[in-house]
C-alpha cells in the first residue's frame, strides 16, 4: 500500500513527510522535485509518475503538492480519494484557503491527523465528525465530550458518520430531488443527445440511531413487486451512493437502506437516458438575406410541463453574427435585448407558465465588412429552473424510518429541474 505521504511547496522543498513503510526514503523527494516540480508537468501530464521503481501519485492545493509514494501495485483511485479526503480534513481544521504558513504553524496537529487517518499504509478513519471528537486543536471545538467506550466504537466501528446520543425536539427529514437536463437538438427538431443527471439531497433531524429505507419508482423494483399501478417505473442508471448506504442490500433487492448522518448530506446520484420529458420545445427559423446585410430570426418556445407549474429565471440566448449593428426585437412576453458582450440576444422571462407558448422575432442589421466570413451559427443556449417537476419522471415512493423508540417522523419532499447543457442548433 502507501509507503509515504509528503507535502511539498512550490519550490519542491519537503514541508511535512510521514513514512509508513521502510521501502522508500526521503531522498525520493529529490526525484519528484526534479522530474515533476522543476519540469512543470503539473496540469499537462497525468498526476502519476513512475521514477526508479517508485510510483508518485500527487494532487495540488494552492501552491502545495500532496504526494503519495508506493512501490506496490495499488489502486490509484483509492490513493487519490485518500489525498482528497486529507485536503478536506485540513480545510475543516485550518480553513478553506489554508496555505504554507498555516501548515507550518500547525505541525503537531497535522502529524496527529496523519497518524489517525492511516496505519501502516492503509487508510483508516477520514470522517471529520469523528476526528474532531478526539483531535481538538486549532479552531474546531467538539460539541460535547464523548465517553471513552463511545469513542472506541466510533473509531473502530462501521458507523463513523453518526455519533450516538443525538436528540431533536422534532424528528424531520427533508428530501430534495435535483435534476439537470442535458439536451442537444438539431435545427429540424431531431434529438441528438438527451440525458438527465440527478441527485438526492437529504437533511435529517432524527433522534437516536434510526435505520431508514428509501424508495424511488425504480423500474426493476416496481416490476418485481408487481403492484399493478398504472405508472411505469423509470430505468435508473449509474447510481452512486453515500457511504452510509448498505450496498449489499441494494445489489440484492435494489432497496436503499441506511443509517443517515445528522444534518445535510448527498444520499445518491443517478442518470436517466430513456423516456425523458423535455421541459421546453423550441422551433427556430433563421434566414440570412443575400448580401450579408440582414438576418431574420423567428423562435417559438413551448412549455411541455403541466399548466399548474411554472418555470423561473428562464434565459434564452439567441446568437447573432459578430458584425451585428442593431436589432429590432419583438417578444410576446418577458424582456429581450441585444447584448454585444454576449454576442447574442438575451431573452429573460421571470415566470414561464406550463403549457404556454411564446414567440419572439428579431430583425438583425449587419455592418458591412471588407472580408465577409460565413456565420457558423452557434446553438441557442437555455437556462431555466422548474420547481416540483422531474424531467426523468423519478419520484420518491416512500421513506420509512425505523427506531426502537417508535417516534413519528415528518417528511418533506421537493423536486427541482434545471437546465444543464441545453442547446438547440439553428
Residue range 58-84, pLDDT digits in tens: 998 988 999 999 988 889 999 999 999
Three-state helix/strand/coil letters over 176-187? EEEEEEEEEECC
Residue 188 binned pLDDT confidence (cut-offs 50, 70, 90): confident
**pLDDT at residue 141, as a whole number:** 45
pTM of the model: 0.70
User: How far is C-alpha 65 from the geometric centre of its chain's CA atoms?
Assistant: 24
Can you give the pLDDT at residue 293? 85
Are 299 and 283 spatial neighbours (Cβ–Cβ below 8 Å)? yes
Q: Is-contact 17 6, C-beta < 8 A?
A: yes
In this predicted structure, the answer to whether residue 322 has a pLDDT above a threshold of 50 is yes
Distances (CA, A) of 260 to 128, 244, 246, 310: 16, 6, 11, 33
Query: Which grid cell is 113?
Result: 491527523
How many residues comprise the chain? 426
* Three-state DSSP state, 103: helix
C-alpha 421/C-alpha 180 separation (Å) is 8
Query: What digits encode the pLDDT tens for the residues 211-249?
Result: 999 999 888 777 666 655 556 788 888 899 998 999 888
Q: Say if residues 56 and 45 touch (Cβ distance below 8 Å).
A: no
pLDDT at 143 over 50: no
Whether the pLDDT of residue 133 is over 80: the answer is no
Percent of all residues in the chain with a pLDDT value above 70, rounded to a whole number: 91
Amino acid at each position: 500500500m502507501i509507503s509515504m505521504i509528503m507535502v511539498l511547496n512550490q519550490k519542491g522543498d519537503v514541508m511535512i513527510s510521514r513514512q509508513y513503510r521502510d521501502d522508500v526514503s526521503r531522498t525520493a523527494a529529490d526525484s519528484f522535485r526534479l522530474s515533476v516540480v522543476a519540469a512543470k508537468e503539473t496540469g499537462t501530464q497525468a498526476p502519476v509518475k513512475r521514477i526508479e521503481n517508485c510510483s508518485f501519485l500527487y494532487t495540488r492545493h494552492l501552491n502545495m503538492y500532496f504526494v503519495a509514494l508506493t512501490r506496490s501495485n495499488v489502486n490509484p483511485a483509492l490513493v487519490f480519494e485518500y489525498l482528497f479526503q486529507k485536503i478536506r480534513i485540513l480545510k475543516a481544521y485550518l480553513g478553506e484557503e489554508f496555505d504554507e504558513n498555516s501548515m507550518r504553524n500547525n505541525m503537531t496537529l497535522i502529524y496527529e491527523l496523519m497518524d489517525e487517518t492511516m496505519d501502516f499504509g492503509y487508510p483508516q478513519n477520514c470522517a471529520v465528525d469523528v476526528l474532531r471528537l478526539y483531535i481538538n486543536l486549532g479552531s474546531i471545538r467538539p460539541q460535547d465530550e464523548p465517553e471513552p467506550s463511545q469513542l472506541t466504537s466510533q473509531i473502530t466501528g462501521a458507523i463513523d458518520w453518526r455519533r450516538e446520543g443525538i436528540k431533536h425536539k422534532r424528528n424531520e427529514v427533508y428530501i430534495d430531488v435535483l435534476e439537470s437536463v442535458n439536451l442537444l437538438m438539431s435545427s429540424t427538431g431531431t434529438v441528438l443527445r438527451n440525458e438527465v443527471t440527478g441527485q438526492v439531497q437529504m437533511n435529517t433531524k432524527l433522534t437516536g440511531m434510526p435505520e431508514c429505507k428509501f424508495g424511488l419508482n425504480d423500474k426493476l423494483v416496481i416490476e418485481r413487486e408487481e403492484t399493478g399501478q398504472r405508472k411505469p417505473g423509470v430505468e435508473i442508471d449509474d447510481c452512486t451512493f453515500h457511504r452510509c448506504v448498505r450496498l449489499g442490500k441494494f445489489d440484492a433487492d435494489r432497496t436503499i437502506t441506511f443509517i443517515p448522518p445528522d444534518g445535510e448530506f448527498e444520499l445518491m446520484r443517478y442518470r436517466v437516458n430513456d423516456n425523458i420529458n423535455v421541459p421546453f420545445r423550441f422551433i427556430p427559423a433563421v434566414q440570412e438575406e443575400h448580401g450579408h446585410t440582414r438576418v431574420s430570426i423567428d423562435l417559438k418556445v413551448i412549455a411541455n410541463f403541466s399548466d399548474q407549474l411554472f418555470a423561473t429565471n428562464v434565459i434564452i440566448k439567441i446568437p447573432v453574427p459578430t458584425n451585428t449593428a442593431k436589432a429590432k426585437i419583438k417578444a410576446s412576453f418577458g424582456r429581450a435585448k441585444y447584448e454585444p458582450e454576449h454576442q447574442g440576444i438575451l431573452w429573460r422571462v421571470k415566470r414561464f407558465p406550463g403549457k404556454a407558448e411564446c414567440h419572439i422575432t428579431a430583425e438583425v442589421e449587419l455592418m458591412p465588412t471588407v472580408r465577409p466570413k460565413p456565420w457558423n451559427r452557434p446553438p441557442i443556449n437555455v437556462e431555466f429552473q422548474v420547481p416540483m417537476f422531474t424531467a426523468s419522471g423519478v419520484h420518491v415512493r416512500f421513506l420509512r424510518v425505523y427506531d426502537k423508540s417508535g417516534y413519528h417522523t415528518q417528511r418533506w419532499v421537493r423536486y427541482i429541474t434545471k437546465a444543464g447543457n441545453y442547446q438547440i442548433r439553428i
